[in-house]
Structure 1
Amino acid sequence: MNFEAIKAIYLFEMARTRRTLLQSVVSPVISTSLYFIVFGAAIGSRIQEVDGVSYGAFITPGLIMLTLLGQCIGNGSFGIYFPKFVGTIYEILSAPVAMSEIIIGFVGAAATKGMIIGAIILATATFFVDIRIEHPLMMVLFFVLTAVSFSLFGFMIGIWAKNFEQLNLVPMLVVPPLTFLGGSFYSINMLSPFWQAVSHLNPVLYLVSGFRWSFYGIADVNPLISLGMVTLFLVVCLVILHWIFKTGYRLKS
């Protein structure tokens, strides 16, 4: 394992965050604060509790997951797309660096940045609502697995994208609707049986449900099923990336 190569890629990607603190850190914190203010005033006054948890506290895991997914996909995709865009990807591919080392460097940095923002959002939420974490180890496990899985997913998008429009297609048009409709701001038990069945087709539901269970012990889906879905998504991403590097799909042409 070439740890120096991993370190070089990782530190280079992390340095980009320090140069864009307003965009990378301040913007998500302000956006989340607005969610608490707007939803707390508009909906929280009408829905006092959900499954015995105050509405503001109930939506906190969903807000963290919403931010985590967006940050990990965005950082993971841009991290590999920019070297493709400027042509430096060929230097990386021709260097004595293995596929696994490239992935660990880029994806590790994207996941780290996403988790830092997620932790900041969690800290910000404590100023607005009372939060408790009943299963801290499971919370960390869901947090890390989700960050790594969607950083890998973003990495795949960055390889697939041919231009900036395609790069932003999934993060802007696909992920937010799935997150909003995945039980981030409500329990699917509030829906009719038909829409509950439809909601179970949304993969984000399992992430939000499992993460919320680690906080309050309540879930729309069995937490073990949620954990299995996250793990399955991680494995699928790794298999696809193995095929991409083996065939050189949109990397060597």
Structure 2
Amino acid sequence: MLELADVHTFYGNIRALRGVSIAVESGEIVTLIGANGAGKTTTLRTILGTVRPRRGTVSFAGQRLNTLPTDRIVRLGIAQSPEGRRIFPRMTVLENLELGAFARRDREAIPADLERVFTLFPRLRERVGQVGGTLSGGEQQMLAMARAIMLNPEVVLLDEPSMGLAPILVDEVFRIISRLKERGATMLLVEQFAAAALNVADYGYVLENGRISVHGPAESLKNDPAVKAAYLGGGHQH
């Protein structure tokens, strides 16, 4: 469904991605793990068209994305729940969610999707009239994820959903990701917290210095000694 083939992305003269190839099939959760600065966020920016690859192709359902503007890419059905929890701080939870659905054509399906989102995120239902900026960090993270889901996308790009959250909330976020998976969601999950990511994913890629160093079914990566040593020890987790 979503494919990067031999992608090289530069910032000025600095090569951030060096021949990255990734494939995400429909109904699959694929995770991209790696240390800070490995190129994980650059990969998402390249998919969304906010940076362009100098070499290689990005395609979605057979259509090349390299030359399309970001708003067209989003309309094709790719939604990002961004790192940094970008929400509208002066708008209520409900207004934020309704804005998440603004690009949709199927207006009549929106109330049912709102209900679905509130079932997934019961905390948001309790705070439906509350202004976004007054929510806790964890609730803002959930609101950012819920907004991406309200777009009813073909693919959700999740950028570091556990970033800065207390462990109990990290567990909750990953439980929600598991539930979305049960409903057949397709996701590319970028995550530093490798153990949790590999527990929910079908397939994983490890990014090191802009290159994919190892990839395979999530189960086999969890048991790969090199991956274990670098990413599943105590040092890399929040």
Please report the TM-score for the alignment, with normalisation by the length of structure 2.
Answer: 0.26
- Higher Cα Rg, which structure: 1
Name the structure where strand makes up a greater proportion of residues: 2
Name the structure where helix makes up a greater proportion of residues: 1
Please report the TM-score for the alignment, with normalisation by the length of structure 1.
Answer: 0.25
